[in-house]
Amino acid sequence: GGADGEDNSSIYIENCPAGMSKEMVKEIFGSFGKVTGVKVPHDSVAIVTFASTEDASMAIDALNGQELEGCAAPMTIRFAKTPQRVAKEKVGRSEARDREAKDREVRNQKSKAAKAQYERALLVNAAAQEEGEREPPARIKAYVPRYKLDENGEPIPERVRSDRGGDRGGGGGGGGGFYGSGGGGGG
């Protein structure tokens, strides 16, 4: 099973002799190949990482089911990761990368849209100011981060959206109560 590369070069050992140190584990398993890491999470369990999957496989074949001196039961040795888990992790990593790229793309589109909307608002305000019609509104910056795009990918200005046809006569009456006062004033 060398096809998995370094993704599956760790083995999980149960029923090690009690009180076995990392050095002892490394000494026993080092005879099957280069050991690059040893963990002893708790008594009678060890995880050994080899430089290659082949070495890990040899250690499993040689020692699985063997009873070392001081063992309470024969050792159970298997790959720390099943081939399915290795494959799943690879898929997970690429999915995460794809998701990240997509999120980045969406953020870029949104910030471009917001910037375009902001620049358009500045132009409109500059033109209005030249004609002496009005001062630029202080709230212009508040529109920048909040936008939606229409079917042509153009940002829809916040004012148009939030309006939602408020000129329909008595339609706005009930909503006022939400803010705590003046619920009946709409008609």
Quickly state the pLDDT bin for 127 (edges 50, 70, 90). Answer: confident
Evaluate if residue 161 carries a pLDDT over 60.
no
Number of H helices, E strands in the chain: 4, 6
Average pLDDT over residues 12-30: 88
The per-residue pLDDT for 137 is 56
The confidence score (pLDDT) of residue 177 equals: 46
User: What's the predicted TM-score (pTM) here?
Assistant: 0.44
State both tokens at 162: 């939030």
Better-predicted residue by pLDDT, 42 or 86: 42
Average predicted confidence (pLDDT) for the chain: 75
Question: Average pLDDT, stretch 68-74?
Answer: 81
CB 32 within 8 A of CB 81: no
Please classify residue 25 by burial: count the beta carbons closer than 10 Å to its beta carbon, then call 0-12 exposed, 13-18 middle and 19+ buried: buried
Q: What is the DSSP string of 88-102?
A: HHHHHHHHHHHHHHH
Specify whether the CB–CB gap between 18 and 72 falls below 8 A: yes
State the pLDDT at residue 133: 57
- Return all residues near 86 (Cβ < 8 A) that are at least 6 apart: 4, 7, 8
Question: Residue 77: pLDDT above 70?
Answer: yes
Task: Output the six-digit token pair for 74.
Answer: 């024969």
Instruction: Return d(Cα 187, Cα 178) in angstroms, integer.
Output: 16
Parallel/antiparallel/unpaired status of strands 76-79 and 35-42: unpaired
pLDDT the model gives residue 69:
79
SS3 for 149?
strand
